[in-house]
Each structure stands twice: as structure tokens, then as C-alpha cells.
Amino acid sequence: MGLTSAAVAIVLTLPTWSAFAQSPAATQASPSGQAYYEFMMARRLEAEGDSAGALAALERAQALDPGSADILAERAALHARRNEAEPARAAAEKALAIDKDNVEAHRILGLVFSAWSEGAAPPPAGETEGSLRSKALEHLKAIRSTPAMATDLSLQLALGRLLLRTGDTDAAIAELEKVAQQAPYLAEPFVLLADARRSKGDMSEAAEALAQAAEINPRYYVSLGDLYERLGRWAAAAGAFGQAIEGVRGPSRDLRLRYVSALLNVPGGMGAARAKDTLAEMLTGSPNDTRLLYLMSTAARQLNDSAGAEDAARRILSVDPTSLAGLNALSRALSDRYQYRQVVDLLTPLARDVAARAGGRESDAAMALAQLGLAYQQLGAYEAAVAAFTQARTLVPTDTVFDLYLAQGLMAARQYDRAASVAGEGITRDPGDARLIRLRAQALSRLGRGVEAISFLEDAIRAESRSPQLALALADAYEAEKRYDDAVKVVQQAQEAFGEDQEFALRLVSLYDEAGRLADAERELRALIDRDPLDAVALNYLGYLLADKTDRTPEAVRLIERALEVEPDNPAYLDSLGWALFKQGKVAEADGPLGRAAAALPANSVIQDHHGDVLARQGRWAEATAAWQRALAGDGESIDRDAIDKKIEDAQRRR
């Protein structure tokens, strides 16, 4: 790599040498006139490609006029253009010894020291990267207000880069913004601006700058995709990687996988279809590639193709029966079908022998154990769930995702003190993890420390105001304190800041429901259904609200049946249908869907309570009592424990 190529192209600005402004006669007679002749000859020879002849001419000029700083500066520039760093430095320093304000000498020294600091050539002995940058910065600052700097983009870029590398980020941004305005066709100033803004934590602004660089030079689309990934802007990341793929012939497997991974992280499964198409094409040439099969299983899950997800997962295990990725994929596919007992059967052997089976794949093993914990949790085996999560966390103690799983498991087990502690430990390792912050706040609220939870969240939001998760967490904390209006206001502000989103809308529905504002809840849900008539979550939610809170049960049944057309086996939707039929007095019809829901989710307290009511109405008192007891032992969410105790007492008298 040449001296000038690693820094910036040196613009061939010519020094003003007033001593050379001689009359023709003087030029021929005086030594300075002869020196000027040699000076101009040097330029001519260099223009003709004879840099050695040019250097010889400058040496003759210097011999004729040894007191000229301009000749030495010109010689320094020629050495620099020949990538001769040390001679360039020596000549420029001699020029400054004669004239400390010589612009060209400062320019050359600034560029030479800058190039050395960036490894363009072996640096002088005893110099460090920091010392070289300081010297480069000193020389460029010396000519900062000169016309040479104002008209030379290479100098401005070098100055901006040096300011950035030496930590003067604000000054670097100011300098680079000037370059970007003057030369919007250059990618480099935008790349450097992205670096500067990223160093200040202004990630969104960094992405904007890098996007401009990528439009100019497509090679930056991969870096842009990286940045969008860090911001969690998965659709934008997929778009950037897609642009990178289009810009190259025969894109690498790694780039295509990054594109697929970004698509599969787009919320709501909106990128799954494109991911599946790309994977199908890649699998044509590599049908037994387990990585591709794992991603295909994930894509199928997002497309609600549970059979396809299971098939891809089983293909992984047929290729490699010991594959932890295959176990993970299959356990997720089974969980999507609410087959939690099969998940337990599948993963229990791993839990018994995890140390031997992990074998350097601790993260994969830990994720499989987390799937086991989730299955236990759905089955109401909370201690077993906590044990599985703890085992996973022990395998990978530095990955805070397993702090998250364990904290969630402890919350389900009503061990709120431990949940708060585990979440706090994770936050210590990753202070910006909004999910852990939200969990710790929830644990504090459950412990009756609501004011502390709100204060904790407000501090977190002051540190990171661009987090939708933290906004939702604060709404949770306000709701726990029954400050419903405050909670609604927080969610509405989040909608304004981050855009309309289903999660925000559903959170508003929940708050309106809690506050008794049924009309507002219905309005939000109908808006969601208007935007997407196949929004099963909104269809079911509205159907359940109408069944539970009004006498509009026929409409409720129709809405819930539409949700079940999208997800026929969803236990929550089956519970809603059964409850709506029960409210209509169709007890026998209600028993079927409620029985299926209760069998799938034995730890869901609301479902078990509903099923108990249906069984009791049929006079099946022993079965009703068992269902109510499961409700009391379950997650405890949204039930009246005293009312269930009274129902159990009444059932026992009737038996």
C-alpha cells in the first residue's frame, strides 16, 4: 500500500514562489532565476512521467538557491508523490526551518505523519501511533485557515480523520460535514461521519450517514446492514444485505445467510417468505446443509407452517442425530403445536448428560435447555423449569439471554426476589438490555415496591430514550400502581415516537380493559382488524372481551372462529371460543374447545378456571374441583383466588 493511497490522494497544488517572479533577463542571469528554471523543469519532467529527472532538477534548483523554503517544500511534495515518506519528511522539515509558515511544508508533513499513523508505511523508529497523529494534527491545524485547506478536500478529510482518531469527535463532525457538503459524491466523508456519530452513541444518525455512503459506493451496504442489526432495525438490515447481494456477482454464502437471518428477525414474520425462497434455492445445491435446514425450520415456523418446520428439523437430526441445532429446531416446532410433553421427552436425555453432549457447543446446548425450561413452565412444573434455566445459565454464564430466561422462570414460580436479583446481575453485564430492565421492574412491582420500579425505569429511559421496550415497561409499572391514565399516556407517546405498532395497540387495549374503558379497547382492536383482517390476536382479543364483558356473544363467537381459522390449535383461542359458548348457555359445545385448551396449557389459571366452570355446570364436580385446583396452582394471572376457593368448597359439598 503506497504512502498517499492509505491517507488521501495528494492534490497537486503548486506553491506561490514570489521570488521566482523575475523578468526574463533576470531569470537568465541570476542564481534564483536559474533555480526557477530548474523548478519549472522539474514540474515538466514529472508531468511527462520522469519523476527521477524531476527530482534531479529540484536538487539543482536547491543548490542554486539553498535559502528557498519553496524549493524544499516542492521537493518534499515530489518525494511524497513517489511514496518516499522519510525523504519527504526531511525536506519539509528543512523548509519549515527556513520559513515556519510554509503552507506546502505543513501540508506534506500533515499528510506524511497521518499516513504513517495509519500504517501506510513503516513509521520512524521511536514513534507511536499517538505521537504520529499528534504531529499530523499539529501541521494540518497550522494551515487550517489557509486557502490551501479551503480548496483541498484531501486535507480536510485528513484533518477530519485525525480529529476523529484523537477523540475530538465534535470538531471532526464539523470538519467532515463541510467536506460532505462540498463533495456529496464522495463516500469517505460519510463513512467517517458514521464512525464519529457512532462513537458519540448517535446510532441512528450514524446509520443515516452510512446509508448515504452506501448509495455512493455499494461496498458499504454490508457495513450498513451490520449497523442496522445493532439498532434492531431488521427490515432495514435485510434491505442493506439485499442491496449488497445485488451489487456483487456470485454473492458469498455468508452474505446470503446474513440476509436470511435479518429477514427472519423482521417482526411479525414479515421477512419469512423471502427468507424461505432464498433458503430453498441454497438447499438445492446443499440439501444436507444443517445450518440451512435450521433456518428453513425457523422460516416455516414464522409462516405458521408447523409441519414444514418439524420436517426440516427432523431432516437435521437424520443427517446428524447428535445435532443440538436439530434438537432446538424440533423442540420449537413441537412447542408451536403446544406439544410440551413431547418437548420434555425429547430434551430430558440432554439435560441428564449435557456436559458430555455440549462438547464446545455450550450455547446451543443452553438454548435447548431453555426450550426444556419453557416446556416445563407451560406444564406448570415451575421448579423443573427453574432448574433447566439455571442449568442453561451455568453453561453460558456470560450470555444475558439466559439471565432473561431464568428471571422469567422465577417470575412464573412467584420467586420475585430471586427474579429481581437475577435480572439485576444481567443488567450489570449488559446495562442496556431493555428486556432485563423490564423484568426487574416487574419483579419489584410484584414485591410491592412499585415506586422503586417506576423510579428505576425513569432512570433507564433517561439513559436510553429510544427504547420501545422501556416505554412498555414503564406502562407496566404504572398499571401495577393502578395509574392507568399515566400508563396510557406513556404508550401513546411511544406510538408517536416509534410509529404505529401492534404491540403498542394491544398494550393500550389491555390498559383500557383494566381501567374499564371497554369502548376504547374495542376501538383499538377494530382498528387493528381493519388494517389486517387476518390478525388472529386482535380477532381473538375482541371476541373474548365481547364474550366476557358484554352480552354480544354471537358476534364474539364469529370473531373467535375467524381467529381459529388462522391458528386452529391455539389454546388461547380455543379457551375464548369455549368461554363465549358457555356464556351463551351452550355448555356441552363449550366443553370440547375448553377441554382441548386446558389439556394443552395445564398451568394457565384462567383456562383451568373456565374449564372448571363448564365441568361444574355439567355436574362433574370432581373434575371441576381438579380444574379449579390447577387454576390455583398455575400462573395465577387474572383470577380471583377467593372466588375459586369458594367454588371448590361448594363443589365438595355437592359431591
Q: For residues 17-55, b (16+ Cβ closer than 10 Å) or e, as one string?
A: bebbebeeeebeebebbbbbbbbebbbebbeeeebeebb
Distance from C-alpha of 377 to C-alpha of 602, rounded to nearest angstrom: 10
pLDDT at 25 over 80: no
The tens digit of pLDDT for each residue in 612-627 reads 999 999 999 999 999 9
Model confidence over 217-242: pLDDT tens digits?
A: 999 999 999 999 988 899 999 999 99
Give the pLDDT confidence of 507-564 residue by residue, as tens digits.
Answer: 999 999 999 999 999 999 999 999 999 999 999 999 999 999 999 999 999 999 999 9
Nine-digit cell string for 85: 515518506
Say yes or no to pLDDT of 268 above 90.
Answer: no
pLDDT averaged over the chain? 89
Q: What 8-state DSSP symbol labels residue 98?
A: H
In the block, which residue shows the cell 520559513?
Answer: 99
Residue 42 above 50 pLDDT? yes
pLDDT over 80 at 495, yes or no: yes
Taking the C-alpha atoms of residue 370 and residue 609, their distance in angstroms, rounded to an integer, is: 28
Exposure of 448 by Cβ count < 10 A (0-12 exposed, 13-18 middle, 19+ buried)?
A: exposed
Three-state DSSP class for residue 67: coil
Tell me the whole-structure pTM to 2 decimals. 0.68
Q: What percent of the chain has pLDDT over 90?
A: 67
Cα distances (Å, whole numbers) of residue 638 to 323, 554, 641: 40, 24, 9
Domains of the chain, start order: 398-498 (1.25.40.10), 500-573 (1.25.40.10)
HEC profile for 131-200?
Answer: HHHHHHHHHHHHCCCCHHHHHCHHHHHHHHHHHHHCCCHHHHHHHHHHHHHHCCCCCHHHHHHHHHHHHC
SS (H, E, C) 262-298: HHHHCHHHCCHHHHHHHHHHHHHHCCCCHHHHHHHHH
Looking at the predicted structure, is the pLDDT value of residue 216 above 90?
A: yes
Q: Which amino acid is at 27?
A: T
CA–CA distances in Å: residue 448 to residues 360, 441, 451, 479: 43, 11, 9, 13
Nearest to 437 by CA among 426, 448, 446: 426
Instruction: Give 509-526 as a 3 state SS string.
Output: HHHHHHCCCHHHHHHHHH
171-210 per-position pLDDT tens digit: 888 888 888 888 899 998 999 998 889 888 888 899 999 9
Minimum mean pLDDT range among 196-200, 215-219, 305-309, 371-375 = 196-200
Name the least confident of 89-103, 125-139, 411-425, 599-613. 125-139
Task: For residues 260 and 299, give the distance between their C-alpha atoms in angstroms, rounded to a whole number.
Answer: 9
Local confidence band at 21 (pLDDT 50, 70, 90 cut-offs):
very low
Q: Is 304 left (phi over 0), alpha (psi -120 to 50) or beta?
A: left
Which percentage of the chain shows pLDDT scores above 70? 95
Distance CA 59, CA 78 (A): 11
Q: Is 481 helix (H, G, I), strand (E, B) or coil?
A: coil
CA angle 373, 377, 382 (to 5 degrees): 95
pLDDT for the residue 429: 92
